[in-house]
């Protein structure tokens, strides 16, 4: 009987998403024997070699844009520059990318620049987080060059400029310190995800947008069935890119990271073309040919997690939405995630922090999902957090989710009403008991990255407007 | 350890979290279905304003957090604080 290795990785609670210290990355594996007769597919991505020098690659990308002007041309003539970077829960190695930007700014003689963290509505980074995220050398250099570091402050109305209303009805306020700069760029991780994709314009919205903008976009567009893994042309991602265009985002630097958090691709160029190219590259590695047309949907999906941001199930659990595509309704997701929690300057948060927001709506049923939708409409659910737990909850209304996790998470899981155990063998045996000895099993060891190719929607479909209704 | 006297309506979310480094304030917020412990938006919001924004009774919320500090928090107090009230 073949044995499959399921990554069961996590980060030290004292470190952050872009940890460069491998001693703070816990790379455990679980093993599971699956009978050949049960195996529908086990999908392990074929990852390329990582780039040996991310800083050099970033410098080269700045001067070889995939579209639009070179960075040196963009900033020439004393233009002011806003550099928007991602936060502590994204693994982008800003320590290695920012030196290439600062070299260019120094060469151009730029005197007005700012680095601003796209933390959206997530709590700001602490001093320690900032040092880990940006690096001491970069912070010292910023001080020398007079480049301030700011973080988003979404409920401070004074901090935002009104930009307009997007075509999907999102009122847009973007941080003044970004808006007032001549040149605006983002540096982030390109990844397909359950909002369509991460990175690029997403660092503008929600990254440096006001509370009202974030909640309006998320409340309206997260629950849409057209917002899903790989839906680059879906309503959520399209609204994000439109808002970034409205804000005047010039260009994006995009990295694709492998499952060990190493840079395997980097590009730079005009928004949104360069980000789109990075997503296409990501999909060329991590999207897989769906076995469903030939073999049907699985009864059981076994999902693993990999380290780059794995403190909280809130961040590791996104693969529930990608596994959903290849799993029958009524099927079982077994999600292996240690989720050790995270230490912040305002206290320790357990591995299921923020997942507890679903507790008032448990058990996950179609009827209770209507309560969720009504409370989103009433703005009683904050969708900056709901944009993750609500999609997981929606999947749970149709599929049985069992979490395989650390013992310390079992009590909170039980309190929330989530099924959890410390044993993959036990979870698998229970799933086989539910679905029978002939159950079909799919293994998605890096579920948060993996998506079936037939879920990808890069090009908008034409709108089927009922023209006759207006005549 | 904090006492009930340390907690006022003007105590901000971030101050509350710091008063309970063991995470008990964050846990109580999650029992109220508040994401405030993780929210950059509400970080510096006073407790009673946060209660109002979440459509909870500010007095009941204040009582619950003070009881947390005094070690007298009960399920009944949490339920009272959880209850949604008209704006």
Domains and CATH numbers, chain A: 3-45+291-455 (3.90.226.30), 54-284 (3.40.50.11440)
Beta carbons of B33 and A153 less than 8 Å apart: no
> In chain B, which residues have their Cβ closer than 8 Å to the Cβ of A357?
30, 33, 35
Nearest CA-CA partner of A287 in A453, A437, A72, A408 = A453
Q: Which of 228-287 (A) contact B at CB < 8 A? A: none
Q: Which of 171-230 (A) contact B at CB < 8 A? A: 211
Peptide bond before residue B85 is cis, with ω within 30 degrees of 0: no
C-alpha A41/C-alpha A430 separation (Å) is 20
Beta carbons of B21 and A347 less than 8 Å apart: yes
Nearest-by-Cβ selection for B40 from A122, A345, A350:
A122
CB count within 10 Å of CB A360 equals 16
- Residue A328: the pLDDT is 98
Task: Look at strands A263-270 and A251-257 and give their pairing.
Answer: antiparallel
Q: At a CB cut-off of 8 Å and minimum separation 6, what does B77 contact? A: B60, B63, B64, B67
How do the pLDDT tens digits run along chain A, 471 residues long? 899 999 999 888 877 777 777 778 888 999 999 999 999 999 999 999 999 999 999 999 999 999 999 999 999 999 999 999 999 889 999 999 999 999 999 999 999 999 999 999 998 898 988 999 999 999 999 999 999 999 999 999 999 999 999 999 999 999 999 999 999 999 999 999 999 999 999 999 999 999 999 999 999 999 999 999 999 999 999 999 999 999 999 999 999 999 999 999 999 999 999 999 999 999 999 999 999 999 999 999 999 999 877 889 999 999 999 999 999 999 999 999 999 998 887 778 899 999 999 999 999 999 999 999 999 999 999 999 999 999 999 999 999 999 999 999 999 999 999 999 999 999 999 999 999 999 999 999 999 999 999 999 998 655 544 444 443
Chains A, B: CB contacts under 8 A, how many?
72
Q: Which of A123, A209, A215, A352 to mutate to test the interface with B (most CBs of B within 10 A)?
A: A123
Q: Which of B30, B42, B83 to mutate to test the interface with A (most CBs of A within 10 A)?
A: B30
CA distance A124 to chain B (A): 6
Eight-state DSSP code of residue A125: P
The answer to whether A153 contacts chain B (CB < 8 Å) is: yes
| Burial degree of B72 (CB within 10 A; 0-12, 13-18, 19+) | exposed
C-alpha A136/C-alpha A130 separation (Å) is 9
Nearest-by-Cβ selection for A385 from B21, B38, B43:
B38
Beta carbons of B20 and A347 less than 8 Å apart: yes
0.95 cut: is pTM over it? Answer: no
CA separation (Å) from A458 to A165, A222, A293? 24, 18, 21
CB count within 10 Å of CB A374 equals 11
Greatest CA separation for chain B = 34
What would you report as the CA-atom Rg of chain A, rounded to the nearest whole angstrom? 22
Mean pLDDT, residues B49-78 taken together: 95
- Residue B7: the pLDDT is 96
Residue-level length of chain B: 87
Nearest-by-Cβ selection for B42 from A155, A356, A360:
A155
Eight-state DSSP code of residue A50: P
Beta carbons of A154 and B26 less than 8 Å apart: no
The interface predicted TM-score (ipTM) is: 0.80
Question: Half-sphere exposure of residue A351, counting CA atoms within 13 Å on the CB side?
Answer: 26
Measured between alpha carbons, how far apart are the two ends of chain A, in Å? 65
- Residue A262: the pLDDT is 93
Element (H, E) at A38: none
State which residue of chain A sits closest to B19, comparing Cα positions.
Answer: A346
C-alpha A378/C-alpha A388 separation (Å) is 18
C-alpha A163/C-alpha A179 separation (Å) is 9
CA distance B6 to chain A (A): 16
User: Both tokens of residue A350?
Assistant: 């357990």
Nearest CA-CA partner of A192 in A383, A452, A389 = A452
State which residue of chain B sits closest to A356, comparing Cα positions.
Answer: B30
C-alpha A66/C-alpha A278 separation (Å) is 10
Q: Which of 295-354 (A) contact B at CB < 8 A? A: 345-350, 353-354
Beta carbons of B30 and A385 less than 8 Å apart: no
Nearest-by-Cβ selection for A119 from B30, B37, B40:
B40
User: Both tokens of residue A285?
Assistant: 């590695």
Residue-level length of chain A: 471
Nearest-by-Cβ selection for B37 from A119, A349, A359:
A349
User: Both tokens of residue A454?
Assistant: 């037939």
CA distance A135 to chain B (A): 22
Look at the alpha carbons of A362, A395, A371, A412 in this order and tell me if their dihedral is positive or negative: positive
- Residue A470: the pLDDT is 44
Beta carbons of B30 and A124 less than 8 Å apart: no
> In chain A, which residues have their Cβ closer than 8 Å to the Cβ of B54?
380
Q: Which of B13, B18, B33 to mutate to test the interface with A (most CBs of A within 10 A)?
A: B33
Interface of B to A at Cβ within 8 Å reads 14, 17-18, 20-23, 25-26, 30-31, 33, 35, 37-43, 45, 54-55, 84
Nearest-by-Cβ selection for B38 from A123, A154, A345:
A123
Beta carbons of B23 and A349 less than 8 Å apart: yes
Q: Which of A116, A345, A382, A383 to mutate to test the interface with B (most CBs of B within 10 A)?
A: A382
Q: Mean pLDDT, chain B, as a whole number?
A: 92
Beta carbons of A120 and B17 less than 8 Å apart: no
Beta carbons of B38 and A350 less than 8 Å apart: no
Nearest CA-CA partner of A138 in A120, A119, A115, A117 = A115
- Residue A21: the pLDDT is 77
């Amino acid at each position: 009987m073949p044995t499959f290795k399921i990554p069961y990785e996590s980060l030290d609670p004292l470190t952050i998403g872009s940890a460069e210290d491998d001693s703070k990355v816990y790379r455990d594996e679980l093993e599971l024997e699956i009978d050949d007769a049960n195996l529908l597919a086990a999908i392990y991505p074929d990852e390329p070699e990582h780039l040996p020098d991310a800083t050099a690659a970033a410098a080269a990308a700045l001067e070889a844009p995939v579209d639009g002007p070179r960075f040196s041309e963009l900033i020439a003539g004393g233009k002011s520059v806003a550099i928007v970077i991602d936060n502590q829960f994204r693994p982008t190695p800003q320590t290695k990318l920012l030196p290439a930007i600062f070299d260019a700014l120094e060469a151009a003689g730029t005197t007005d620049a700012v680095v601003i963290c796209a933390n959206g509505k997530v709590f700001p980074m602490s001093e320690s987080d900032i040092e880990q995220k940006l690096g001491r050398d970069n912070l010292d250099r910023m001080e020398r060059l007079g480049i301030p570091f700011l973080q988003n402050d979404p409920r401070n109305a004074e901090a935002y400029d009104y930009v307009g209303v997007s075509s999907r009805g999102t009122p847009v306020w973007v941080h003044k310190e970004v808006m007032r700069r001549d040149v605006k760029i983002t540096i982030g991780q390109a990844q397909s995800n359950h909002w369509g994709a991460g990175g690029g314009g997403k660092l503008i919205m929600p990254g440096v947008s006001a509370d009202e903008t974030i909640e309006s976009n998320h409340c309206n567009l997260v629950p849409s069935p057209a917002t899903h893994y790989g839906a680059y042309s879906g309503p959520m991602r399209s609204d994000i890119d439109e808002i970034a265009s409205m804000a005047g985002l010039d260009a994006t630097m995009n990295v694709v990271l492998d499952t060990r958090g190493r840079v395997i691709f980097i590009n730079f160029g005009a928004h949104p073309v360069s980000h789109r190219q990075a997503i296409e590259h990501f999909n060329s590695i991590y999207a897989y040919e769906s076995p469903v047309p030939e073999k049907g949907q699985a009864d059981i999906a076994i999902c693993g997690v990999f380290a780059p941001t794995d403190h909280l199930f809130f961040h590791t659990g996104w693969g529930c939405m990608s596994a959903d595509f290849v799993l029958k309704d009524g099927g079982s997701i077994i999600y292996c995630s240690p989720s050790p929690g995270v230490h912040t300057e305002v206290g320790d948060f357990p591995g299921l922090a923020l997942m507890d927001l679903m507790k008032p709506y448990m058990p996950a049923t179609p009827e209770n999902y209507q309560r969720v939708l009504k409370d989103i409409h009433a703005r009683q659910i904050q969708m900056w957090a709901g944009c993750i737990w609500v999609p997981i909850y929606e999947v749970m209304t149709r599929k049985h989710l069992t979490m395989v996790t650390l013992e310390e998470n079992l009590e909170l899981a039980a309190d929330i009403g989530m099924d959890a155990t410390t044993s993959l063998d036990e979870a698998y045996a229970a799933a086989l008991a539910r679905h029978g000895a002939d159950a079909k099993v799919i293994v998605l060891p890096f579920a948060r990255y993996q998506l079936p190719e037939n879920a990808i929607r890069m090009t908008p479909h034409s709108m089927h407007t009922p023209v006759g209704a207006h005549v | 350890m904090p006492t009930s006297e340390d907690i006022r309506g003007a105590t901000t979310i971030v101050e509350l979290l710091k008063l309970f480094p063991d995470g008990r304030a964050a846990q109580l917020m999650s029992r109220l279905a508040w994401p405030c412990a993780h929210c950059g938006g509400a970080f510096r919001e006073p407790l009673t304003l946060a209660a109002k924004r979440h459509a909870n009774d500010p007095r009941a919320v204040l009582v619950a957090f003070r009881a947390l500090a005094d070690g007298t928090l009960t399920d009944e107090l949490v339920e009272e604080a959880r209850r949604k009230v008209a704006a």
